[in-house]
A and B are shown apart, each in its own frame.
Chain A
Amino acid sequence: MAHGVSVLALLVVLGTSTLARAQEQELPVSEVAPKIFVHVGEVALMTRENDGATANVGFIVGDKAVAVIDTGGSVREGERLLAAIRARTDKPIRYVINTHGHPDHVFGNAAFVGSGTVFVGHWNLPQALAVRGPFYTDAFRRIMGEQLMEGVRMIAPTLLVDGTTKLDLGSRTLTVTSWPTAHSDNDLTVLDEQTGTLFAGDLLFLAHIPVLDGSLRGWLKVTDELGTLPAQRVVPGHGPVSEWPGALADQRRYLTKLAADIRALIARGEPITAAASTAAASERPVWQLFEDYNARNATSAYSEIEWE
């Protein structure tokens, strides 16, 4: 009897651990609109502990095919996203769309290289990856460790978007749009018109302080243009899925304040180092990761605005 119980216990233990492993492999996603699945990334810096899984990633399932929107901050995250897709559909992955070239959005690309999958990006993304790729892989080996960086490759898009491109998934058409320099110089958005769902990439941050790696003035302009898109909800690059276009308000206020403070500092003849410590200080309580990015945003904005 005792023997039977221990065998049973062993089976239970084995069973749960297998189950646990399967669940762990699958990236948790939620269905934010019919057949649109999103994993909301942790509002954090990319680390060894979080697999670099800080950006929002997702996928859209049509009648014939699947489109993946961003692949995450490591091949491990990319593989977990793939597992989440395969748990829900066996349709082929026709497109992997990279909203831009930052590590937390493209490091998982290698998990999706396979027959028939086309990588889609902004016309300037190949250049951005070429220029930054080697630096990113070196830097993140240092930050996330050799093991997590294993297999990370810069995979440049072959379908380049300049303006607007329509992607057909079978009874479902996605509108992919390239934008002028804003958050970065290679930002794309993806709109599913059927459900009014906009994937804004890092053109929109919520809760996570906006990170400037392009043009502050360009971003303010693009923020206004984005507001006219016919969407009901937005999947930002970072932060919760939210209502459209109300979700733009916090970011617009931060960027406007940053620009105003920088202009005032420059007019007073203050040096760039003063910008890092004082600009947009009133926004500190509103945003997570403020200490990690605000000084950087201010430094970058100063070097742009002083040319006005």
Chain B
Amino acid sequence: MPGRRFRLFFVASALCSAIVLGAQIAPAATPGANDPWPGLVQDIFNNRPMNDGAEVIGIEMPYRAEDAAIVPVTLRTRLSPGDNRRVLRITLVIDQNPAPMAAKFELGPDANVTEISTRVRVNNYTDVHAVAELSDGKLYMTKTYVKASGGCSAPAAKNAVEAKNRLGQMRYRQFARSGQGPASGTREAQIMIGHPSHSGLQMDQVTQLYIPAFFVNELRLWQDDSLVLAMEGGISISEDPNIRFTYASNGAKRFRAEARDTEGHVFQKEWNVEDSGM
């Protein structure tokens, strides 16, 4: 199913690029006429109405993508403590990338995830949208704009040999949150997965065949048996997927991760939670 969806996005974006190209030849076209977003709302969100997300979700990215292959992005939920709605999932869309749907995060029902940071590839000058789906059944959208990097930076591997060697390695790290001791129950952690994340858009010069897409398309994180965060990813996620997030500890002593890639590899690992605090 993710494969089919991926192809669909690819076709949609190819059509969009054709439209953009056409418009560049005719400079009289009005700005905004080539905006792929309406098409993406149709493809990814089934044309569901988009509500203003300013009070619900924040997105932070550098204004300029310094390194096209590694552009940090942070998503923050903004619901006030008194709000009885919950964020169910957040979809990250990089409009001008070859596969615009970068990631879909599902937030564990009891984990109170409020912050998610990851790294993405950015191919072009682009709007980046974050769409939160709340427990009220509505979608809330916010966006930012990123300028593409210049120079010799490219959304591609820098060290192909190293990337291959790291395949399947997983690391977990827990951070101390300033001003929030263990007693608050809020934790900050990071998961790293070694994976070359080939986009599948490039031709092998020797074989003249397209290098097949090969990336982590599913990641699930649990504390004991309670889901903290799940990610459905695409080729816009940087090589060696890396997610840093906050969550509320349920007192679990074990943290567990499971990742799958497009070739069906399953990577699993678990760690002891330091100072679970409860």
**Hey, which bits of chain A sit against chain B, CB under 8 A?**
45-46, 102-104, 124, 126-127, 129-132, 134-136, 138-139, 142-143, 156, 181, 184-185, 211, 213-215, 218, 269, 271-273, 276, 292-293, 295-296, 299-300, 303-304, 306-307
Let me know if B155 is at the binding interface, CB within 8 A.
yes
Let me know if B161 is at the binding interface, CB within 8 A.
yes
Query: What's the dominant secondary structure at chain B's contact region?
Result: loop
Sort chain B's interface into a size bin: 35 or more
Ordered by A's residue number, 14 sampled pairs between the chains whose C-beta atoms are within 8 Å are A127-B205, A131-B156, A135-B123, A135-B154, A135-B156, A142-B125, A142-B148, A181-B159, A215-B158, A292-B150, A299-B72, A300-B70, A300-B158, A303-B238
- Near A by CB (< 8 A), chain B positions 175-206 give 175-176, 192, 194, 201-206
Could you tell me if B72 and A271 are in contact, using CB atoms closer than 8 angstroms? yes
Q: With A271-B72, A293-B151, A307-B166 in contact, is A214–B159 under 8 Å at CB?
A: yes
Select A181's contact among B125, B162, B203, B244, beta carbons within 8 Å: B162
Could you tell me if B205 and A102 are in contact, using CB atoms closer than 8 angstroms? no
Contact with A along B137-166 (1 / 0, CB 8 A): 000000000001111111111111110001
B169 to chain A, nearest CB (A): 8
Let me know if B66 is at the binding interface, CB within 8 A.
yes
Minimal Cβ-Cβ distance residue in B for A273: B72
Distance A181 CA – B155 CA, assembled complex (angstroms):
17
Let me know if B262 is at the binding interface, CB within 8 A.
no
Could you tell me if B67 and A185 are in contact, using CB atoms closer than 8 angstroms? no
Could you tell me if A139 and B148 are in contact, using CB atoms closer than 8 angstroms? yes
Could you tell me if A185 and B160 are in contact, using CB atoms closer than 8 angstroms? yes
Chain A residues in 8 Å Cβ range of B67: 296, 299-300
Could you tell me if B158 and A130 are in contact, using CB atoms closer than 8 angstroms? no
Could you tell me if B159 and A185 are in contact, using CB atoms closer than 8 angstroms? yes
8 tightest A-B CB contacts, nearest first: A296-B66, A126-B205, A102-B152, A132-B154, A269-B175, A130-B205, A181-B159, A131-B156
Q: With A273-B72, A299-B67, A303-B242 in contact, is A104–B152 under 8 Å at CB?
A: yes
Chain A residues in 8 Å Cβ range of B192: 306-307
Select B151's contact among A127, A211, A276, beta carbons within 8 Å: A211
**Hey, which bits of chain B sit against chain A, CB under 8 A?**
62, 66-70, 72, 74, 117, 119, 123-125, 148-162, 166, 169, 171, 173, 175-176, 192, 194, 201-206, 238, 240, 242, 244
Q: With A135-B156, A276-B62 in contact, is A299–B205 under 8 Å at CB?
A: no
Further pairs besides A213-B158, A271-B244, A276-B66: 8, Cβ < 8 Å: A45-B151, A126-B206, A130-B205, A131-B156, A185-B158, A273-B62, A296-B67, A307-B169
Chain A residues in 8 Å Cβ range of B117: 271-272
Distance A132 CA – B202 CA, assembled complex (angstroms):
8
B37 to chain A, nearest CB (A): 20
Select A129's contact among B62, B157, B175, B205, beta carbons within 8 Å: B205
Distance A129 CA – B72 CA, assembled complex (angstroms):
25
Distance A127 CA – B72 CA, assembled complex (angstroms):
26
Select A131's contact among B70, B157, B173, beta carbons within 8 Å: B157
Select A296's contact among B153, B173, B175, B205, beta carbons within 8 Å: B153
Minimal Cβ-Cβ distance residue in A for B64: A295
Minimal Cβ-Cβ distance residue in A for B198: A131
B120 to chain A, nearest CB (A): 12
Minimal Cβ-Cβ distance residue in B for A143: B150
Could you tell me if A303 and B119 are in contact, using CB atoms closer than 8 angstroms? yes
Distance A286 CA – B88 CA, assembled complex (angstroms):
49
Distance A292 CA – B147 CA, assembled complex (angstroms):
13
Chain A residues in 8 Å Cβ range of B70: 272, 299-300, 303
B66 to chain A, nearest CB (A): 4
Chain B residues in 8 Å Cβ range of A143: 150
Distance A130 CA – B208 CA, assembled complex (angstroms):
10
B136 to chain A, nearest CB (A): 31
Could you tell me if B123 and A299 are in contact, using CB atoms closer than 8 angstroms? no
Could you tell me if B151 and A130 are in contact, using CB atoms closer than 8 angstroms? no
